[in-house]
Amino acid sequence: MTELATQLGFSRSRVSRAVARQEFRGVLARSACPRDARAAHAAVTDQGTVLLGRLSGLYEVTVRDSLTRFHVRAEQLEVLVQHLQPLVDHVDRPLALSACTRRQRPATLDALPHSTGHR
pLDDT in tens, 13-62: 999 999 999 999 999 999 888 888 888 888 889 999 999 888 888 888 88
**More reliable by pLDDT, 103 or 5:** 5
Could you tell me the residue ranges of all domains in the chain?
Answer: 1-44, 46-94
- Could you please report the per-residue DSSP string of 14-67? HHHHHHHHHHHHTSEEEEE-SS-TT-EEEEE-HHHHHHHHHHHHHHHHHHHHHH
